[in-house]
Amino acid sequence: MAMKQILAGFAALTLLVGPAPGGAEAPAPVTHEELGRTLDDLAGQIQGLGERFLGHFAPGESPFERPLVTFMLDRRHDLALTPAQVQALERIRAEFQRESIKLDADQRVAQMDIAALLRADPIDLAQVEVKVREVERLRADLRFGRIRAIEQGKAQLTAEQRAKLQTLLSDPWMRRPRTGEPAAPPPRRL
């Protein structure tokens, strides 16, 4: 609610400032309904950004779905990866990143479609249901793509490298250095 008040204040201030100097054409007056719809759309966009932000940083999926291919590449020296393995892992990561960018964009477009459908009066529930299911299918496709990329990455490792990877992953108290970073000191025990 506070966000809507701030945005409304900003919009009102913008309207009060008036036309820009230099003979620019005066903007057409905005009705309260148009301003309300615009603010609702903006609030929805901000909420969507927040959800995507949390999706990237908040734990919500299993530990087996974390960015394991990047972890392997960052620990290439610890895992003794060959140049061919590094190249294969980089290709897997790049393919997943391309796929995830496309799926994320498709999700955003579908969310915009849902917002447009919800502004109608009456709301066409059948169309809204189709779009909601589309968003969830895209989210599932992204999650499965991540799992597939992880499995493809693990398949590039030898048995010894997989065992070393498990050792690195099972050591939660120690912040393992990324390639080129100094090692963090182990935590103090009291």
Q: Kindly give the confidence (pLDDT) of every residue in the chain, 190 residues in length, as a single tens digit, with 9 standing for 90 and above.
A: 566 677 666 666 566 555 555 555 666 666 767 767 777 777 777 776 766 665 555 444 454 556 889 999 999 999 999 999 999 999 999 999 999 999 999 999 999 999 999 999 999 999 999 999 999 999 999 999 999 999 999 999 999 999 999 998 887 654 444 555 555 444 444 3
Q: What is the dihedral of CA 94, 99, 102, 108, to 10 degrees?
A: -110
∠ Cα 67 69 70 (to 5°): 70
Instruction: Identify which of 184, 164, 181 has the alpha carbon closest to the alpha carbon of residue 173.
Output: 184
Q: If DSSP codes are grouped into helix, strand and coil, which group holds residue 181?
A: coil
- Second-level CATH architecture of 63-172: Up-down Bundle (1.20)
pTM: 0.57
Helix axes 125-155, 83-118, angle to 10 degrees: 170
- Position of tokens 């204040």? 9
Rounded distance between C-alpha atoms, residue 146 and residue 66, angstroms = 8
